[in-house]
RNA sequence: GCCCCCGUAGCUCAGUCUGGACAGAGCAUCGGACUUCUAUUCCGCUGGCCGCAGGUUCGAAUCCUGCCGGGGGUGCCA
């Protein structure tokens, strides 16, 4: 309703000024109505004006209401209640807004001033399985990328895979033990958990192996040719596997976006040099660290440092993240750095960002944000595990989603078969998993529940997808083309049509609100209210058996609704089938 | 110990940034609606000391303080 608010503000300003309301004292009071129902769309509480005006809020509201209602003729109906001035959009204002939306492929969503933004997300580890933990980062990050791109920004997807470090000594030696041929080419590693665990066990229990692993780390770090080649075998097998998962999930990540830890290894000494030059690096117990002071203390109450170089000369992830910041700011020219990483790493990012600011790696113009998210829990509130108590493999989870969706649709719509059924099952199953993740506040933990996410009722992907499919069905059954609705006069004769129109007209602000805060669930909430108001509309407002004017108006509303759902779900990385 | 986050209907969640009207959805329960563009859905009923206690304010789920309960972080893993 921000457009209505803007119109109200500009139209009533002269009148209020003549009534003695000083400029700057009342404008911010005008906002979206907080009361449910059809009482009003926009409201202005007058209570805070009471002392200065030396009148009761009720009197002020009544006076304003009667004085300004003429200024808003045809735009909003004005009334007052309980000291609030209430503005209710007129049918003609609403229908004009809907008509203006129709020809716009962006459905009214504007472009922002362009920024260059790096979004760091997914980040699985080479030679390790992808678990549910990676699901949230991948799904949330991908939605944020899509939303930011749609708003006109230049987005660099950054998949900061864990492809470097001491574990690779044992992993490479284990690879040699089982034979390179066993994992080469198409074969791949069938069980990454097992592969990693076997390497780990040998490292812990077999001194000879541990020694080989340690010397292999040295060779890797000195970039010995054969060792790098073996390392690459592991990297390739893993990234092929990641790509399979990404393709199943339907996310944007490709090999182009891979920018693993190894890519920054040559920059690490540079980080140390620059920190030394600035003079904030200190030696503590043999390690090079930065002390930030403030509230950062360890469990003994002593200053807690950012570890830059360990006592053994090795680097760890703070250094790598600082190198990343330098690279993204200086090479890619990023304005914003977003990190879609779990909440437990909050303190880490706060400290790294602080070091980067103090060291001049970022300046006031740069915005670094830890886009944090909570854990995935089961219905008992525990971290989600498989029946055997293992971490749930992401591929298994995705396969189960599709299987469950296919089961559900073959029950509900036996007409769908073959490839179409498979395809629809994929869209519904994957969409359900993504949507259930995206639809609640990412910063909180969320409860994973198959039955709820795959339900056709409630705030779920299938419910939104079904609304979309119903609309497609109207057009395909009637043989009327979607484009024929362009330029149609909109009539909003029933409460259901008006309610639907309001959700469509406020779609752009929902997208903006969601994108600005990097909170996909805000868009989900709005899409659900579109689908829900459409369902009510659909129940009451027949389309095809009406006379021409009503019919074409309603067809246009249907078309817009479908486009809003499809565009909105698209921004979340979710497909909508035309039949389901 | 210190720091951070969470606590809203039986369940899952919005709303907290930027204070406004009787705190909203969905699910579940219960009661209704299928010769239809539609039941893969819709309509209605029921359901709340917004963790507790103070404070600020004309007005607090929202801001401040202190508690209680749960979770996370707290130097050479990432």
| DSSP string computed for A135-200 | HHHHHHHHHHHHHHHHTT-EEEEEB--B--STHHHHHHHHHHHH-GGGTTTTT--S-HHHHHHHHH
Neighbours of A567 (CB within 10 A): 18
How many Å does it take to go from CA A433 to C1' B41? Answer: 22
* Alpha-carbon span A127 to A200, nearest angstrom: 12
Question: pLDDT grade, residue A440 (50/70/90)?
Answer: very high
- pLDDT > 70 in chain A, percent: 100
How many Å does it take to go from CA A65 to C1' B16? Answer: 30
Residue ending a domain, among A251, A283, A298, is: A251
Provide the Cα torsion A131, A137, A139, A140; round to 10°.
150
Model pLDDT for residues A294-306, shown as the tens digit of each residue? 888 888 888 999 9
State the nucleotide closest to A476 in CA–C1' terms. B37
- pLDDT > 90 in chain A, percent: 84
pLDDT value for A298 = 87
Contact yes or no for A433/A245 (Cβ under 8 A): no
Question: pLDDT grade, residue A74 (50/70/90)?
Answer: very high
Question: pLDDT grade, residue A133 (50/70/90)?
Answer: confident
Q: What is the largest CA-CA distance in chain A?
A: 91
CA angle (A310 as vertex; A305, A314 as ends), nearest 5: 140
Does A89 have pLDDT greater than 90?
A: yes
Q: Tokens at residue A220, please?
A: 């890797």
**Which single residue has its CA nearest the C1' atom of nucleotide B13?**
A440
Neighbours of A52 (CB within 10 A): 12
Residue ending a domain, among A44, A73, A89, is: A89
ipTM value:
0.96
What CATH code is carried by the domain that includes residue A16? 3.30.1360.70
Please indicate, yes or no, if residue A260 is contained in any of the structural domains: no
Please indicate, yes or no, if residue A220 is contained in any of the structural domains: yes
Lowest mean pLDDT among A33-37, A414-418, A467-471: A33-37
How many Å does it take to go from CA A540 to C1' B33? Answer: 12
Q: What is the CA A351 to chain-centroid distance, rounded?
A: 24
Beta bridge partners of A487: none
**What's the whole-number mean pLDDT along residues A41-57?**
92
Give the 3-state secondary structure of A80-144: EECCEEEEEECHHHHHHHHHHHCCCCCCCCCCCCCCEEEEECCCCECCCCCEHHHHHHHHHHHHH
How many Å does it take to go from CA A192 to C1' B19? Answer: 52
pLDDT value for A24 = 87
How many Å does it take to go from CA A47 to C1' B61? Answer: 21
Q: Which helix (H) or strand (E) holds A219?
A: helix A207-221
> Which residue bears the tokens 């959009």?
A89
State the nucleotide closest to A45 in CA–C1' terms. B20
Contacts of A19 by beta carbon, 8 Å cutoff, 6+ apart: A63, A64, A67
pLDDT value for A306 = 95
State the nucleotide closest to A408 in CA–C1' terms. B40
Phi, psi values for residue A338, rounded to 5°: -110, 135
> Which residue bears the tokens 């490292």?
A203
State the nucleotide closest to A86 in CA–C1' terms. B21
* Alpha-carbon span A355 to A15, nearest angstrom: 53
Please indicate, yes or no, if residue A122 is contained in any of the structural domains: no
- Strand ranges (DSSP E) for A433-497? 446-447
* Alpha-carbon span A541 to A21, nearest angstrom: 44
State the nucleotide closest to A449 in CA–C1' terms. B12
Model pLDDT for residues A254-265, shown as the tens digit of each residue? 999 999 999 999
Lowest mean pLDDT among A414-423, A511-520, A521-530: A414-423
Question: pLDDT grade, residue A66 (50/70/90)?
Answer: very high
Model pLDDT for residues A164-184, shown as the tens digit of each residue? 988 999 999 999 998 888 887
Structural domains counted in chain A: 2
Question: pLDDT grade, residue A136 (50/70/90)?
Answer: very high
Q: What is the CA A452 to chain-centroid distance, rounded?
A: 20
Q: Which residue segment(s) compose the domain that A228 sits in?
A: 167-251
pLDDT value for A275 = 96
Contact yes or no for A467/A76 (Cβ under 8 A): no
* Alpha-carbon span A16 to A29, nearest angstrom: 13
Please indicate, yes or no, if residue A54 is contained in any of the structural domains: yes
Lowest mean pLDDT among A115-129, A297-311, A335-349, A430-444: A297-311
* Alpha-carbon span A448 to A378, nearest angstrom: 5
Please indicate, yes or no, if residue A396 is contained in any of the structural domains: no
Contacts of A168 by beta carbon, 8 Å cutoff, 6+ apart: A126, A127, A216, A217, A220, A231, A234
How many Å does it take to go from CA A412 to C1' B40? Answer: 6
* Alpha-carbon span A178 to A197, nearest angstrom: 14
Does A439 have pLDDT greater than 90?
A: yes
Q: Tokens at residue A431, please?
A: 């969409």
Question: pLDDT grade, residue A159 (50/70/90)?
Answer: very high
pLDDT value for A491 = 95
How many Å does it take to go from CA A445 to C1' B71? Answer: 10
Does A269 have pLDDT greater than 80?
A: yes
Please indicate, yes or no, if residue A518 is contained in any of the structural domains: no
**Which single residue has its CA nearest the C1' atom of nucleotide B76?**
A310
CA distances from A408 to A52, A250, A420, A580 (A): 63, 21, 14, 10
**What's the whole-number mean pLDDT along residues A527-554?**
94
**Which single residue has its CA nearest the C1' atom of nucleotide B6?**
A444
Neighbours of A96 (CB within 10 A): 16
pLDDT value for A23 = 87
> Which residue bears the tokens 């009720």?
A58
Please indicate, yes or no, if residue A497 is contained in any of the structural domains: no
pLDDT value for A95 = 96
Contact yes or no for A553/A488 (Cβ under 8 A): yes
State the nucleotide closest to A320 in CA–C1' terms. B78
First CA to last CA across chain A, in angstroms? 33
State the nucleotide closest to A458 in CA–C1' terms. B26
**Which single residue has its CA nearest the C1' atom of nucleotide B41?**
A535
Does A382 have pLDDT greater than 90?
A: no
Contacts of A565 by beta carbon, 8 Å cutoff, 6+ apart: A464, A465, A467, A468, A527, A530, A531, A576
Please indicate, yes or no, if residue A268 is contained in any of the structural domains: no
Contact yes or no for A408/A460 (Cβ under 8 A): no
Q: Which helix (H) or strand (E) holds A307?
A: strand A305-309
Question: pLDDT grade, residue A388 (50/70/90)?
Answer: confident
pLDDT value for A343 = 95
Question: pLDDT grade, residue A52 (50/70/90)?
Answer: confident
How many Å does it take to go from CA A119 to C1' B76? Answer: 28
Q: What is the mean pLDDT of chain A?
A: 93
Model pLDDT for residues A397-423, shown as the tens digit of each residue? 999 999 999 999 988 898 888 899 999
How many Å does it take to go from CA A379 to C1' B10? Answer: 15
How many Å does it take to go from CA A518 to C1' B46? Answer: 37
**What's the whole-number mean pLDDT along residues A152-161?**
97
> Which residue bears the tokens 């699985």?
A124
Nucleotides of strand B within 7 Å of the protein's CB atoms: 1-7, 12-15, 17, 20-28, 37-38, 40-43, 58-59, 72-78
Question: pLDDT grade, residue A206 (50/70/90)?
Answer: very high
* Alpha-carbon span A94 to A96, nearest angstrom: 5
State the nucleotide closest to A411 in CA–C1' terms. B40
pLDDT value for A345 = 95
Residue ending a domain, among A37, A65, A89, is: A89
């Amino acid at each position: 309703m921000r457009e209505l608010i803007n119109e109200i503000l500009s139209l009533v300003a002269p009148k209020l000024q003549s009534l003695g309301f000083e400029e700057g004292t009342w404008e911010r009071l005008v906002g979206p109505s907080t009361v449910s129902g059809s009482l009003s769309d926009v409201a202005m509480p007058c209570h805070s004006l009471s002392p200065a005006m030396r009148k009761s809020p009720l009197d002020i509201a009544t006076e304003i209401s009667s004085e300004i209602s003429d200024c808003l003729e045809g735009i909003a109906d004005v009334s007052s209640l309980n000291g609030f001035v209430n503005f209710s959009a007129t049918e003609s204002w609403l229908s004009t807004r809907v008509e203006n939306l129709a020809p716009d492929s962006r459905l009214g969503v504007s472009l922002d001033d362009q920024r260059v933004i790096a979004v760091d997300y997914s980040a699985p580890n080479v030679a390790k399985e992808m678990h549910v933990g990676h699901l949230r980062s991948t799904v949330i990050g991908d939605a944020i990328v899509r939303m930011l791109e749609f708003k006109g920004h230049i987005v660099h997807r950054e998949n900061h895979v864990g492809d470097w470090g001491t574990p690779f000594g044992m992993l490479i030696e284990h690879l040699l033990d089982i034979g390179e041929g066993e994992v080469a080419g198409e074969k791949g590693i069938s069980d990454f958990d097992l592969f990693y665990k076997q390497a780990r066990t040998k490292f812990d229990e077999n001194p000879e192996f541990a020694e080989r692993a340690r010397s292999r780390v040295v060779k890797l770090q000195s970039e010995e040719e054969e060792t790098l080649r073996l390392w690459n075998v592991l990297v390739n097998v893993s990234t092929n596997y990641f790509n399979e998962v990404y393709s199943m999930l339907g996310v944007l990540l490709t090999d182009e976006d891979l920018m693993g830890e190894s890519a920054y290894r040559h920059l690490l000494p540079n980080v140390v040099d620059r920190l030394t030059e600035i003079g904030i690096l200190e030696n503590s117990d043999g390690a090079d660290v930065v002390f930030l002071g403030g509230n950062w203390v360890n469990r003994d109450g002593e200053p807690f440092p950012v570890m830059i170089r360990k006592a053994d000369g090795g680097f760890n992830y703070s250094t790598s993240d600082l190198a990343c910041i330098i690279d993204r700011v200086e090479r890619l020219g990023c304005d914003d750095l977003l990190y879609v990483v779990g909440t437990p790493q909050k303190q880490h990012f706060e400290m790294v960002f602080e070091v980067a600011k103090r060291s001049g790696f970022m300046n006031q113009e740069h915005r670094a944000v830890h886009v944090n998210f909570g854990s995935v829990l089961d219905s008992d509130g525990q971290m989600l595990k498989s029946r055997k108590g293992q971490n749930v493999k992401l591929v298994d989870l995705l396969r189960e989603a599709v299987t469950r969706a296919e089961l559900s649709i073959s029950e509900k719509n036996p007409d769908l078969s073959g490839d179409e059924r498979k395809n629809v099952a994929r869209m519904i199953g994957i969409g359900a998993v993504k949507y259930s993740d995206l639809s609640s506040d990412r910063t909180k933990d969320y409860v994973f529940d198959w039955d709820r996410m795959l339900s056709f009722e409630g705030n779920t992907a299938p419910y939104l997808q079904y609304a979309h499919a119903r609309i497609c069905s109207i057009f395909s059954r009637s043989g009327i083309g979607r484009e024929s609705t362009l330029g149609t006069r909109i009539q909003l004769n029933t409460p259901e049509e008006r309610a639907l129109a309001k959700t469509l007209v406020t779609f752009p602000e929902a997208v903006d609100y969601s994108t600005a805060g990097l909170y996909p669930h805000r868009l989900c909430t709005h899409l659900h209210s579109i689908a829900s108001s459409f369902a009510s509309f659909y129940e009451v407002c027949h389309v095809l058996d009406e006379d021409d004017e009503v019919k074409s108006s309603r067809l246009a509303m249907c078309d817009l609704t479908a486009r809003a759902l499809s565009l909105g779900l698209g921004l979340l990385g979710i497909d909508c089938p035309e039949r389901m």
